[in-house]
């Protein structure tokens, strides 16, 4: 199975870091948060990735182009113009990097990578700026069992996100500003049928608006509830929180 990861946004709310690099390349424990997300999927056997690049996407391409240099011991023989890679610690990943435009909305980015997922029975889809200890294997199995077009991970929010309106596990709609606490929200980890791509009009379509609303109204969106750790990285405070968790040696999302 493939995993599509959005990695093209500007990240304006964490501009202290993103004026130099795309948001998914902000480091936690010396590794880009994108790497952490990919490691989480890889722990569940998902090793084929499609990365939707945009803002400063060349930095993401350069990172993977030089991945062996980042992850291995290397000897450079200057006299003979040779490079020898010693201990290879790279993961068994296949990574496709796609330029999806600087100003493209989230749904538009997904639409642009359609050629890479259209022949899949289903594929995973997530954002490149948040980590969680979601049981991806169980989510994929849940998706295959219910037979609908889309599965969204429903998580407990920090309190400032729109809530999902559920009937059992079926998503019926969304509440942008829920009244009171306790409502489950869109946690950003999806399993999708390629058929959902037909609901995206083009570059200006946010995935979170018409496509998800249409899936909910057509009874084609199911919620996989996750009661564990979930944390987006929208601000410098949240970045620092993740760094502190990593440095403590007890990062909840480290399932590998």
DSSP state of 45: T
The pLDDT of residue 124: 98
Taking Cα atoms as reference points, which of 160, 159, 148, 166 lies closest to residue 225? 166
The pLDDT of residue 17: 65
Taking Cα atoms as reference points, which of 231, 227, 234 lies closest to residue 242? 231
Structure-block tokens of residue 251: 């990062």
Condensed to tens digits (0 to 9), the pLDDT of residues 67-104 reads 878 778 889 999 999 988 887 677 899 999 999 999 99
Taking Cα atoms as reference points, which of 169, 122, 132 lies closest to residue 39? 132
Q: Which residues contact 173 (CB under 8 A, 6 or more apart)?
A: 164, 165, 213, 216, 217
140 near 1, Cβ under 8 Å? yes
**pLDDT tens-digit profile, the chain (256 residues):** 999 999 998 766 676 666 778 999 999 999 999 999 999 999 999 999 999 999 999 999 999 998 878 778 889 999 999 988 887 677 899 999 999 999 999 999 999 999 999 999 999 999 999 999 999 999 999 999 999 999 999 998 765 556 677 788 888 877 655 544 557 889 999 999 999 999 999 999 999 999 999 999 999 999 999 999 999 998 889 999 999 999 999 999 999 9
The pLDDT of residue 179: 45
Q: Which residue has the tokens 């379509």?
A: 205
Taking Cα atoms as reference points, which of 150, 218, 144 lies closest to residue 186? 150
The pLDDT of residue 221: 97
Parallel, antiparallel, or unpaired: how do β-strands 130-132 and 163-167 relate?
Answer: unpaired
Structure-block tokens of residue 79: 């006299």
CB-neighbour burial class of residue 254 (10 A; exposed 0-12, middle 13-18, buried 19+): middle
The pLDDT of residue 158: 62
CA distance 52 to 37: 14
The pLDDT of residue 219: 96
């Amino acid at each position: 199975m493939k995993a599509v990861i959005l990695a093209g946004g500007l990240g304006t709310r964490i501009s202290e870091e993103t004026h130099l690099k795309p948001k998914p390349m902000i480091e936690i424990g010396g590794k880009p948060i994108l790497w952490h997300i990919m490691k989480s999927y890889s722990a569940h056997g998902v090793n084929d990735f499609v990365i939707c690049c945009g803002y400063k996407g060349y930095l993401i391409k350069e990172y993977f182009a030089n991945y062996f240099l980042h992850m291995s011991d290397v000897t450079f023989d200057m006299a003979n113009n040779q490079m020898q890679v010693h201990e290879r610690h790279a993961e068994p990943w296949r990574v496709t990097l796609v330029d999806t435009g600087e100003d493209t909305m989230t749904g538009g980015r997904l639409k642009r990578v359609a050629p890479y997922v259209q022949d899949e029975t289903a594929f995973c889809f997530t954002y490149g700026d948040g980590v969680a200890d979601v049981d991806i294997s169980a989510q994929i199995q849940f998706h295959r069992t219910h037979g609908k077009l889309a599965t969204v991970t429903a998580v407990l929010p920090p309190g400032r996100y729109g809530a999902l309106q559920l009937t059992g596990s079926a998503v019926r709609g969304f509440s942008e500003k829920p009244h009171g606490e306790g409502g489950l929200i869109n946690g950003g980890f999806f399993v999708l049928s390629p058929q959902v791509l037909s609901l995206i009009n083009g570059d200006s379509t946010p995935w979170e608006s018409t496509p998800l609303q249409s899936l909910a109204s057509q009874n084609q969106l199911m919620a996989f509830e996750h009661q564990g750790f979930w944390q987006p990285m929208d601000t410098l405070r949240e970045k620092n929180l993740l760094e502190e968790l990593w440095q403590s040696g007890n990062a909840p999302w480290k399932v590998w």
